[in-house]
Structure 1
Amino acid sequence: MVKRNRVQFTAIVMFLLIFVALIMVFPFAWMVLGSVKSKSELFAMPIKWFPEVPVWKNYVQVVTKVPFFQFYWNTAKVAVISTAGQVLTCALSAYAFSKLRFKGRDTLFILYLATMMIPGQVTMIPQYELLNKIGLMNTLWTLILLRWFSPFGVFLLRQFFVSIPDSLVEAARIDGASEVRIFARIILPLSKSVVATLVTLTFLNSWNEFMGPLIYLNDQKKYTLQIGIRYFQQMWGTEYTLIMAATTMSLIPIVVIYIFAQKYFIEGIAAAGVKG
């Protein structure tokens, strides 16, 4: 009887998970199918789920009506450099907060984490004034530098670094290894899963960022994808099939990265949450 109840419970849970997954996948599937439909098919009643003949020219029109590949390149540049910088600064900070001993370390760590409670709207105006004074307005470096420091990233890596035995670090120090070598040859190789998690989260956030480019960029040649799609929508607001095609192309790198990093993403979240 117990085994039968367990099987029934598992079946119910699986059914609910599949149901929720289908609900979440439906908008994405509708967008992809809509990107290769004609306008008449998109608004046809009753609904046509699949196009009779895929209209691939929707994608061609997107890249010809606006400098879409320029938007793509700008976004890739911001996302890659932002991710590399944030992972480096967060990893170094997390190593200091977890493996180095200095006065006030824990207090400083708590104060650093406390900045996560400050809403972004509070710092938006001071950041704008500061970047304007140092001449970084309307440059991609504005978006990059703002993402090089992340309390959440430091917290995520520090929680994992704490779980690495101090005996490994002490043994390396006795052998004469420098802190840089310990960090690069011992800590990082043992932290691949959590570092991959931070890389995935940072890249996705940078790729999808909308508010930052909207505030700091006013030159069309420097638009990122999110602002570029908004600009495209302002120009061709009634061309919903083209907007769906543009959005679908913007999501390709995100889907690819998540597919390849999914294993490390789950392992990293679990390790940082349980072992820390």
Structure 2
Amino acid sequence: MLADVADLLLCPQCRAADVHGLALQGRTVRCPRGHSFDLAKQGYVNLLPGGVPRHADTAGMVAARERFLGSGAYAPIREAVRTAARQPSPDVSAGSLTMLEAGAGTGYYLAGCLTDRDRGLALDISPAAARRAARAHPRIGAVVADTWAGLPVRTGSIDVLLAVFAPRNPAEFARVLAPHGRALVVAPLPDHLAGLRSTLGLLDIEEDKEAHLLARMSGHLVAADSTDIRFTLRLTPAAVADLVGMGPNAFHRRSEQRAGAAEGPDPAAGAPSEVEVAVRLWEFTRA
């Protein structure tokens, strides 16, 4: 519920509430200087200045993600994230956590980590994603925001921050984390979905992705631990189509079609039934 997390939010216009946060009054979120933002009927608030960017996930992409994740296909990743998030900390009282997921999408991973004593913020640049995340768990407040532009979140207010296959802003991650806070980042390994990428001509994973990740974190966050998660999925053609259609490859294939390039194999026909998942879960602390 947004009412439970409004005090964690910063006004995107003046950022004047870094001490007191925002307040929900009826169907409006207000800052101390009088700026106001209406609550959508689906329960989320849009704190994104200007219009929605073209690269925001569409309603179709969010629906594909909801179907794919709802099938349990990535449950081992969610369980690993939950285990890491729930590690006991002497600085967190009574097991209650304040969590934030950047690039939350449907809120699948955040919802898997929360208990009824916690509170969670789901941030995503897509209103379609925020609509779904607002329903993912009764302790989630959903906000439309741009990770790259800065998180509309109070400094030092977050115990655990999640970024699962999502954009990362190391300086902002470090700013919003409490002194004892941790950032959990899930990123693909080079052989993640390799067979599927080869067969369908999907986007490649850069060879130096890990080095690039650590270099960007340097000066803001320190790698404390990492765990590799590997498993094999047996997917139906419909599940393959959802996997392709729920992420950046959906934009990639659409761009190819607009440019008149060959569409490549139909992801719903002839794709391999076995898909190898290979990701690394990083745990970072403040530098």
TM-score band (shorter)? under 0.3
Bigger Rg, structure 1 or 2? 1
More helix by share: 1
- Greater relative contact order, per chain length (Cα 8 Å cut-off, separation 6+): 1
Q: If the length of structure 2 is used for normalisation, what is the TM-score?
A: 0.22
